[in-house]
Amino acid sequence: MDLKIREAVKIALDRLDDLSQWDSLIINRREPFTYRAFTFVGDDRICLHKFDPCSEESAFMHPHPWPSEMMVLSGVYEMWVGHSKDLNSKPESVIDVTLSSGSVYKMHNELSWHSVRPLTTSYSIMINGLPWKEKHSKAPTTKGKDLDKFTQEELRNHLDSFRSKLKKEDELVTI
């Protein structure tokens, strides 16, 4: 993963007005429901996520199939973090944290797990690189799941909802 989160903020801002640069997914078969718009920069993918609140019991625990870095742009969510001993094991709990605007975290190990439980509607930006050479057997994928995508109007509204959040974060960096 070559792209860094601060660079991703700038690139996303620059691309918000060009719908042809973005694709989307509505991930609503597990919680929290996730509304994702994404664009590619080389092999890296920038995702703009909106999460709906959910209960602690329904927050989806998972490892990622690729290295990633995330920043919370607005809202608040609790995150459970775990670690498994190998690529087939279930995780052991490591820590529970509460994250809000400006929080940044990275998942750079294929044995790391997390679950996100939004306490409010939450917005984040994520970048991810190419899949691990050996990914965890429990790492989910959206491929082949026939998930819905945004209409053009929904995509426009989703991207517009990120404009002020990304701009605020970009201004904090340049001050």
For 69-109, the pLDDT digits (tens) are 999 999 999 999 999 999 999 999 999 999 999 999 999 99
Identify the band that residue 173 occupies on the pLDDT scale cut at 50, 70 and 90: low
The one-letter amino acid at 45:
R
Handedness of CA 74, 152, 52, 5 (dihedral sign): negative
User: Which CATH number applies to 5-174: 3.40.50.300, 2.60.120.10, 3.30.70.100, 3.50.50.60?
Assistant: 2.60.120.10
Nearest to 91 by CA among 56, 59, 61, 134: 61
Query: How far is it, in rounded angstroms, from Cα 47 to Cα 83?
Result: 24
**pLDDT of 10-42, one tens digit each?**
999 999 999 999 999 999 989 999 999 999 999
pLDDT of residue 143: 76
**Side chain identity, residue 88:** N
Contact 6, 71 (CB under 8 A): no
Residue pointed to by tokens 């995702």? 47
Read off the pLDDT of each residue in 43-57 and give the average, rounded to a whole number: 96
The residue among 160 and 2 whose pLDDT is bigger is: 160
Cβ atoms of 118 and 75 within 8 Å: the answer is yes
Q: What is the predicted pLDDT for the residue at 93?
A: 96
